[in-house]
A and B are shown apart, each in its own frame.
Chain A
Amino acid sequence: MDNKSDVNKLILNFIGKFLEGDGKIFSIVFFVIVLLIIIGIIAENKVNDVKKNWEIYITNELNDIQNTVTREFKIKEDYLIKNLNKLNFSLLRELSKSRETYKAFIKEINKKDYDDFSIEIYAPNGKLIGWNKSSQAFHNELFPLASLVGETFFLEKDLVYCFSIIDTFHFQSDEFYIFLSLLIEKKYKLHNKFYEEISIINYISNKIQTETIVDFNPFTLPSSDGRKYSFEITNNKNKKIGLVTIDKPTIKNRINEIKNFSSSIQSLIVLFGLIIIGFGLRKDYKNLKSYYAKFLFLLFYLLLFRVLLFFFSIPSKFLNSAITDPANFSSAFSFGLVKSPLEFLITNIFVTISALQFFRYSLKFFSKEKGFNSKFISYFFAIIILILFPLILRAFAASMQSVVFDSKLRYFKDFEILPDFTVLTMHVNILLLGTSFLFILISLSLLLKKLCLDRDDHFVLRDFIVVSLLLSFSSLSLYYISKNPLYNIVNLLVLLITILWIFYLISKQQKVHTKYYLIILIFASLNSVILLNYFDALREKESIKNIAFEINRFNNPLITFYLNENINQIISDQSERNILLRKDINFNSLAFIYWSKSNLHQEELNSFITIYDRNGKVLGGFKVGFDFRENIKQLLSKFNDVVLIDASNQDSLIKKISTYSKYVEQGATQLVVSSGINFQVAELGGLRFPEFLKSELNIINQYIKIEKIKIFQFRERELVQYYGDVYPNREQIKHLFELKLDSVFNDGWTTLEFGDEYYAAYVIKTSDNNSEITNVVTIAGNKFSWSLFNFFKVFIIHSIFIFIILLFISLSRIKKFSMSFKSKLLLLFLVISILPTTFLGLYNRKVLDERAAINITNDLKQKASLVENNIYSSMNKNIDIDESAKKVHKSLNIFFNLYESSDLVFSSDQQYYDTGLLNEKLNSLVYYAINYDKFREYHTIEKIESYPFYSYYKVINLNGKQYILNVNQAFNKSYNVMSSSEFDIVLFGVYSLTIVIIIFSSTLLANQISSPIQRLTKATEAIGKGDLNVKIEHNEKGELKELLDGFNKMTDELKKNQIELAEYERESAWKAMAKQVAHEIKNPLTPLKLTIQQLIVTFKERREDYDKFFEKVSSTLLNQIDDLNQIASEFSRFAKMPSLKMEMFDLIKLLNELSAIYLNEKIKIVINSDNDEYLIENDKSQLSRIFINLIRNSIQAEASSITISIIKTDHNLEIYIEDNGKGINQEYQDKIFSENFSTKKQGMGLGLKIAKKFLTVINGDIVLVKSSTEGTTFKIILPYVKV
């Protein structure tokens, strides 16, 4: 990791150095401009080239398209043949082991490997003997063969097209047939999550970016239209099996494509250039001293970058999905910069970076800069902040409101725990939005304090209270005077408390630890989620307005338009007309295809589409909730082209309208196409639609769970229709009609009570045929489990996102991964508590699922028994099976199917089998279980598209014949106490809360356990650095008490021993030295004595050479005295300070290391510096001792905070060590640097003396700046030369 980061650093430095200097940046800008011009010229040349050589170009282009399309079909064909061979091989292997051939066939083809294929096995005589669970293309008879054996072909079925192959399989002299089909195209389309779109045509169209038509028919002729190009699809035997027709590329389109492509490249180059310029200016940006200039520069750069991204539509241009859809979010804010979830995310990232920088610079201004000299200006700006603060609070709420109201996404409507990508993007947006606002609001609080109460970095609780009161007052004032305050008082208070608490933490510390960023992120998430929940509840309430609009929207003109449009689309299209005239077509399937693609399905309308022959006899149709006429012979003579039949009931407001349109060719009616809509409030929201046919485009279900609402429709004050299981009593109706409505919109809100629940009710009045219509839509509030679920659903996603951010930051900062004792402890707690909790949750979920499955199966069993008994009773009355089944279905209202052997003989909802949506053949697994495993009953989960449902099969005997009765959940609502989604909601909510509590308590516990160990570690570290005054104060009990007391005792002993040792050493040294000195002094003393004695004798004897002798003796004496002086000097040198160990180190790093020693002491150490580092050459250990000594003195003077400020002067560094301790008495202040002076009981009085002595040696100094009862300030001067 080290190597990697070093390489990165090297590369960055290289790029940085390369880009240094204005000249190079200018060169890059010039290069970018040249590149843009060159691309423009290339594009123009390319356009001219295309114009000039269009014929050659189009030929190549069409060849490419043909090759691409052919390749796609070839891939499908290869897949088909490969699996056929695989199946052949495995069948041969399995059949040779088995005694029962047919049984082995079914078992093998139902293996998971073949789920993509529809497989049928035919006996040598062409009879169907086996099919798999995905089978949908079979006939009971194989002959005549649909194609030659071994050749691939397109197989058209009622609702789908398949790529198929028939092959033979030889086993024990018998020749079986295998019919293998791969679904490639669905003719119908459903608008719900269960629909599995399979369309090779769409796939190819998207791939070649051209409208494509595929005729899965070998006999279709190429298009004669010169604007189109057709080519054949051939099979594995090189025979034509289909025809592809595409629109030929036009020169205009091609030129547009070239221009778009070149402009995309140019825009990317401009952005790249901007990035490079930004990179080049990185150093200049760092060198800027003014925060103000830095912030402006950054803001300008980010704004320019964002606007360019938007202008060039990057990255939206390259993506076409839900995250670029304005329906999912688009706000009027900033001219479209937030017009989709993706644009919102990009803007949010830029805003968050700006807000973060604003916060950082505000903090620096708060802690270091001097405020205004003029009080007037300070107060003026303080007032502006006081006005801005509540406005920005409101802006936060407005943004969150926009996130909910300007989006069709319903964040909490669905049960899904894991959201889709668009919702996930919006969740991240919400977090970023909250973080940005929190940064700005906290910054404003800091600025306000600085402006009003500039206290030279001292935290005073009174100041904090004053600022908090001012901010609260301004916020609450705006809340109470505002007509529409957006948030409620609880939201506002939560937000205010959050901001003020973080403001308190930061202003107390005077700086921001990384953990505060984490706190800001978490609280940004909490507040965003709270507001999101709040606005979502409001949105849900507002949504019921849309339901009221929906009821009013369906008037006669709209219904007529829908019906006519549907019929016109069928009859006016030549290709559809050709299909209608085909003899082999299944008209039920055709009607279903038309219905599925129409607004009848999209808007979940009770409706039908029917096709009649020229005599008015029904050929086929599809209906949901509205029956069509079986015969319209009488009606035919009454109209020429189109007739509209309105069977609506004006009194009950039920609308039943149908239209009939004749398709006339060569003067004769060929067919009649009919469509009808039955609209009534009581059946809103697709009540009559089976789950697999529901539409997500239905407005009512888009906004709200229909089960949560109740609707009442009044005509002239009389209740004519209602939706839901209750209706209002007289008093409530009276209340509804006495409600004062809005004069413009004629609507209003009120509350109704049903049972124990209160419902918000929206009332709107309209008129229809001169009658007053009143629609009342009501909704119940959310349950607690929902609120808990909603909250954690978003909060957990935010937490994961925050975790990822922190992980990235940590990984980029930490060079070597190591875990502290506390982290290990916390991790252990979390693992041993969360893992079992999670397993318990999963187990509970599994148990509940199993119980739910049992309940549903029991319910289906009961229904099956009821049906069986009733059919049995009916058949005893000599009614045939079909009639009996119909009668039983009608009387019991239970949907069921009856099979004889493997074929369907009766279904309560026959039309789904008639259309081909469901198979008339018995589920092959059920067939296997009943026929070969001799089961009498069988339950399984089946699927329609991807909609899963429980299905129960039972073998019954009726009049001596064996039938298989099937009752399933797809057509029979089988209610459980709670749905699996509701289980998820409760479990997720409860377990999320449990896990949060576990994390919280584990952190507390880990803190509690590790705290003494951490303090012990720090204290040991302090001792290691020479501070023996350290003492751990604690309230621990038990072993920890013994350990900490033992440590303190050990430190005391150590200190005592050190003092004794020092004294002993000093004494010994003095003794040795005295001995040595005495010895050294004695040496010159003897000659001195002798010389003087000799001089005296000479003087007494008055010798002639006295003068000469005197001169000699004097010289000797002086030499001896010099020797003595030298001895004295050497002695003095010996007593001097130890030699200096000079080294290069970062002073700030050293101070940080030293302050870390005192983390567990009741002292806060703040280091202020203009620079991030100060490299000095000095004796590190001596300096450490001085700082430790000063800090320890402050602690002993009962200081709670120490501020160390480093100021650089011309040649020195001035370090101010300022504490808020009880200070030094005035009388002692002059003596503190004297030797042996100490006010402490155990002090030697050497600390400050040594410090002074050391600093004097290195040409520095230490002085007492001030000392009073409010605190003491020392100044240390260190010589500094910038390295």
Chain B
Amino acid sequence: MIKICTFISLLLIYSYVIFAQNEKLIQNFKPGIKSDSNHIVMSEIEESIKNSDVIKLTKFINSKTYFSLMGNISGYYTTNQAFYLLEDFFKIYKVQSFKFSQVNSFEDNPYATGTLYYENRGRRNKAQVYISLKRVGENWIISQMSIN
């Protein structure tokens, strides 16, 4: 009886890993932050990039987000892919400082640009950042994120 119990338990664990785990991560990645002001959202994004906080950043990402990052990364990715891509990206390009230099809060197409200073192979360099937002229901999500 113990044997079959263990078999079944393992199977339950297995299916949990497939479903529950997926569910959990999807919840973690649930995109968008409810806010009437895209300015607040831009500040949150600025903070996330500055701290290389991928988990926080992925809250503003969904499969409609276009990425254009250094190292030939460009396209639309699922939230899972985006999470690991950004994680790898910030591992390679260690953020030294980041600030938006221009934030335009147009209701239709809010966007912000800034300069990101990073370290790669012990060498300090900079990249231009462009972030644009899009309203999806009550939430704001990133429609484009370019770091080049």
- Please list the residues of chain A having a beta carbon within 8 angstroms of any beta carbon in chain B: 191, 209-211, 247, 249-250, 252-253, 290-292, 295-296, 299, 326-327, 329-336, 339-340, 358, 362, 365, 369, 372, 377, 381, 384-385, 388, 391-392, 395, 398-399, 405-408, 440, 444, 447, 451, 545-546, 549-550, 553, 555-558, 561, 565, 568, 599, 602-603, 697, 699, 702, 743-745, 767-768
List of A residues within 8 angstroms of B83 by Cβ: 330, 332
Asked if residues B2 and A210 are in contact (CB atoms below 8 Å), the reply is no
Give the residues from 1 to 55 in chain B that come closer than 8 angstroms, CB to CB, to chain A: 1-8, 10-12, 14-15, 17-19, 21-22, 25-26, 29
A1268–chain B nearest beta-carbon distance, Å: 32
Taking chain A's interface residues, is the majority helix, strand, or loop, or is none over half, making it mixed? helix
B122 touches A252 (CB 8 A): yes
Contact B15 A602 (CB under 8 A): no
B68 to A: closest C-beta gap in Å:
7
| Chain B residue, CB-CB nearest to A407 | B81
**Docked-complex contact B1 and A558, CB < 8 angstroms:** no
Give, as a whole number of angstroms, the nearest-CB distance from A1276 to chain B.
Answer: 31
Would you list 24 pairs from A and B whose C-beta atoms are within 8 A, ordered by A residue? A191-B72, A292-B6, A327-B85, A331-B80, A332-B83, A334-B21, A339-B84, A372-B1, A381-B5, A391-B19, A395-B18, A406-B78, A406-B81, A440-B14, A546-B76, A550-B66, A556-B109, A561-B130, A565-B130, A568-B128, A599-B68, A599-B148, A699-B74, A699-B75
Partner of B3, one of A291, A332, A339: A291
Say how far A648's CB is from chain B's closest CB, in angstroms: 15
- The answer, among A330, A333, A568, for a CB contact under 8 Å with B81, is A330
The one of B4, B8, B81 that contacts A326, using a Cβ cutoff of 8 Å: B81
Could you tell me if B121 and A209 are in contact, using CB atoms closer than 8 angstroms? Answer: yes
B8 adjacent to A549 (CB under 8 Å)? no
Query: Does A388 lie within 8 Å of B74, measured CB to CB?
Result: no
Question: Is A565 within 8 A of B148, CB to CB?
Answer: yes
CA gap between A545 and B21 in the complex, in Å: 27
Q: Nearest Cβ in chain B — how far from A55, in angstroms?
A: 18
Q: Is the CB of B76 within 8 A of A388?
A: no
Residue in B10, B25, B75, B144 whose beta carbon sits within 8 Å of that of A299 in the complex? B10
B111 to chain A, nearest CB (A): 5
User: Across the A-B interface, how many residue pairs have beta carbons closer than 8 Å?
Assistant: 151
Complex-state Cα separation, A330 to B58, whole angstroms: 15
* Contact in complex: B136, A744 (CB < 8 Å): yes
CB distance from B14 to the nearest CB of A (A): 8
In the assembled complex, the Cα of A295 lies from the Cα of B9 at a distance in Å of 13
**Cβ of B75 and Cβ of A408 under 8 Å apart?**
yes
Q: Which residues of B are at the interface with A, using a C-beta cutoff of 8 A?
A: 1-8, 10-12, 14-15, 17-19, 21-22, 25-26, 29, 64, 66, 68, 72-81, 83-85, 87-88, 104, 106, 108-109, 111, 113, 121-123, 128, 130, 132, 136-137, 143-144, 146, 148
Residue of B nearest to A602 (CB): B74
Question: How far does the alpha carbon of A326 sit from the alpha carbon of B78 in the complex, in Å?
Answer: 11
Determine how close the nearest CB of chain A comes to the CB of B145; give it in whole angstroms.
11
Residues on B with C-beta less than 8 A from A331 are 80
B126 → A minimal CB distance (Å): 10
State whether B132 touches A744 (Cβ < 8 A). no
- Which of A249, A327, A362 interacts with B77 by CB under 8 Å? A327
The residues of B that contact A358 with a CB separation of less than 8 Å are: 7, 10
Minimum distance in angstroms from A987 CB to a CB of chain B = 32
Indicate if the CB atoms of A332 and B21 lie closer than 8 Å. Answer: yes
Quote the shortest CB–CB distance from A59 to chain B (angstroms): 19
Contact between B128 and A565 (Cβ–Cβ < 8 Å)?
A: yes
Name B113's closest neighbour in chain A (CB-CB): A561
Q: Which residue of A lies closest to B68 (CB)?
A: A599
A332, B25: Cβ atoms closer than 8 Å: yes
- Given A253-B122, A381-B8, 12 other A-B residues pairs in contact with their CB atoms under 8 A: A249-B122, A250-B122, A329-B81, A330-B85, A381-B4, A392-B14, A405-B78, A440-B14, A553-B144, A557-B104, A558-B111, A768-B108
Structural contact, A391 and B15, CB atoms closer than 8 A: yes
Flag if A558 contacts B130 (CB, 8 Å). yes
In the complex, what distance in Å separates the CA atom of A761 from the CA atom of B84? 32
Q: Which of B4, B74, B130, B132 contacts A447 (CB 8 A)?
A: B4
Note all chain B residues with C-beta closer than 8 A to A295. Answer: 6-7
Q: Are A362 and B7 in contact (CB under 8 A)?
A: yes
| Contact between A558 and B132, CB atoms less than 8 A apart | yes
Please, which residue of chain A has its CB at the minimum distance from the CB of B74? A697
| Docked complex Cα distance between A250 and B124 (Å) | 12
Tell me whether B2 and A247 are in contact (CB under 8 A): no
A391 surroundings in chain B (CB, below 8 A): 15, 19
Contact between chains at B21 and A333 (CB < 8 Å):
yes
Q: For the complex, give the distance between the alpha carbons of A595 and B83 in Å.
A: 31
Chain B residues whose C-beta falls within 8 Å of the C-beta of A546 in the assembled complex = 76
Q: Is the CB of A211 within 8 A of B121?
A: yes
Nearest chain B residue, comparing its CB with the CB of A396: B18
Complex Cα distance, B74 from A702, in Å, reads 10
- The interface residues of chain B lying within 8 Å CB-to-CB of A253 are 121-122
A373 to nearest B CB, angstroms?
Answer: 9
Cα A1075 to Cα B83 with chains together (Å): 103
Tell me, rounded to whole Å, the shortest Cβ–Cβ distance linking B20 to chain A.
11
Q: Does the CB pair A330–B84 fall under 8 Å?
A: yes
CB distance from B75 to the nearest CB of A (A): 6
* Contact across chains for A247 and B15 when beta carbons are under 8 A apart: no
Residues of B within 8 A of A339 (CB): 84
A365-B3, A561-B113, A565-B148 known; A326-B88 Cβ under 8 A: yes
